[in-house]
Copies of this chain bind each other. A is one copy, B any other.
């Protein structure tokens, strides 16, 4: 497997475009389209929030009940969430516009939105945007990058990645783009991720690969513990790589899953490191756990602890907060057996051993914690399971961004 340049247009047969539709932002692009020259099987995973945005409901219908998808259209600025039947109707109108412009069935058009909750999208600008997008569709790396920029909200960098693997003697490419947390006029933090691949794979195995992989990737990310109404991961496979069709588990499926995992892990970490106001990517590894579930519970509890996140911002080796967050996670363990380490490009330091301080050097710990990527490793000494979660520090800028008026 090797990482290559590009994102959603890296795989054969995929094109992308961006347009400035003036939905809410001025002077920037705010709509993106992904199009496959041939029909794709599609997999998707969606927010577990009871409050689901209209595009989530639309996409669930397509992914769960229709055999193929061929295009994705996404807008930033307004989330089309809490918008009732009218909002769902706008999803249909958007899909119809794409259907007409591209000559494909409206049932093969996926839609996505990110932005302010509770506001209706200006449907005329959206349909005009669709018409502007289609002529710009292009298979170049640059076109993928433009699409990745158009879906950004308070993201400070565009997020894309692509890899190639050999499957059945053919080169298969998996590429993707995503956006993370934050809005210029924030009402929510929405994660959207779009992955394209030219792998030839059945719809069933594609969904299986995605559903398993998100547990170790996107679901292990937290910026602020708030699960959005719009979170969506879409995975399109058009089969143009020409590999023998993957229809069951085996070596080929495994190779595909590895490529998918690389793409999703990379994108997930990009979301965490670019969390609203973040100055550092904070990684938490739990090792020596009794079960995977225990490790996941402990890692996610630490990554969402406001006190721990504030300490990371202050480069403060405040290990008591980490042990405290593990303690209230709901997972059982013996605090008096825990070893804890901090690690970064500046080194690795054992902070506590068997639940009490090692008498480590505070200056050395501060140096380790002053890097832009910081890892805490906790060994609970119960078994061999492990899990890794990603988050970011809690900063003044997070408060600035989220206390601002929407108007």
* Contact pick for A320, options B50, B117, B313, B400, CB 8 Å: B117
At the interface, is chain A mostly helix, strand, loop or mixed? loop
The complex places the Cα of A73 from the Cα of B338 at a distance, in Å, of 30
**Residue-wise interface mask of A (390-407) relative to B, using a CB-CB cutoff of 8 A (1 in contact, 0 not):** 000011101111111111
Within 287-336 of A, Cβ neighbours of B (below 8 Å) are at 304-307, 310-311, 313-316, 318-321, 323-328, 331-333, 335-336
**Residue-wise interface mask of A (105-149) relative to B, using a CB-CB cutoff of 8 A (1 in contact, 0 not):** 000000000001111000000000000000000000000000000
The complex places the Cα of A52 from the Cα of B332 at a distance, in Å, of 13
Residue A227 at the chain B interface, CB threshold 8 Å: yes
Residue A226 at the chain B interface, CB threshold 8 Å: yes
Query: Would you call A403 and B313 a contact (CB within 8 A)?
Result: yes
Q: How many copies does the complex hold?
A: 2
Residue A83 at the chain B interface, CB threshold 8 Å: yes
Given A307-B402, A402-B306, A405-B316, CB of A83 within 8 Å of CB of B326: no
From residue A394, how far is it (CB to closest CB) to chain B in Å?
A: 6
Given A324-B188, A405-B316, CB of A83 within 8 Å of CB of B356: yes
Closest to A336 in B: B84
Query: Would you call B399 and A310 a contact (CB within 8 A)?
Result: yes
Number of residues of chain A lying within 8 A (CB) of chain B: 68
Query: Would you call B403 and A399 a contact (CB within 8 A)?
Result: no
The complex places the Cα of A291 from the Cα of B325 at a distance, in Å, of 29
Within 10-59 of A, Cβ neighbours of B (below 8 Å) are at 48-52
Query: Would you call A229 and B324 a contact (CB within 8 A)?
Result: yes
Given A118-B357, A306-B224, A333-B50, CB of A321 within 8 Å of CB of B188: yes
Contacts of A336 in B (CB 8 A): 84
Query: Would you call B396 and A51 a contact (CB within 8 A)?
Result: no
Contacts of A407 in B (CB 8 A): 362
Residue A101 at the chain B interface, CB threshold 8 Å: no
* Contact pick for A50, options B51, B306, B327, CB 8 Å: B327
Contacts of A323 in B (CB 8 A): 51, 82, 117, 229
Given A51-B335, A226-B306, CB of A399 within 8 Å of CB of B402: no
Query: Would you call B324 and A84 a contact (CB within 8 A)?
Result: no
Residue A383 at the chain B interface, CB threshold 8 Å: no
From residue A316, how far is it (CB to closest CB) to chain B in Å?
A: 5
The complex places the Cα of A327 from the Cα of B230 at a distance, in Å, of 12
The complex places the Cα of A371 from the Cα of B374 at a distance, in Å, of 39
Q: Please provide the 8 A-B residue pairs with the shortest distance between their CB atoms, ordered closest to farther.
A: A117-B320, A51-B327, A314-B403, A310-B402, A227-B328, A49-B327, A50-B327, A224-B306
Could you jot down 12 A-B contacts, CB within 8 Å?
A50-B335, A81-B324, A82-B357, A118-B320, A187-B318, A189-B307, A225-B304, A226-B324, A310-B401, A314-B402, A315-B405, A395-B399
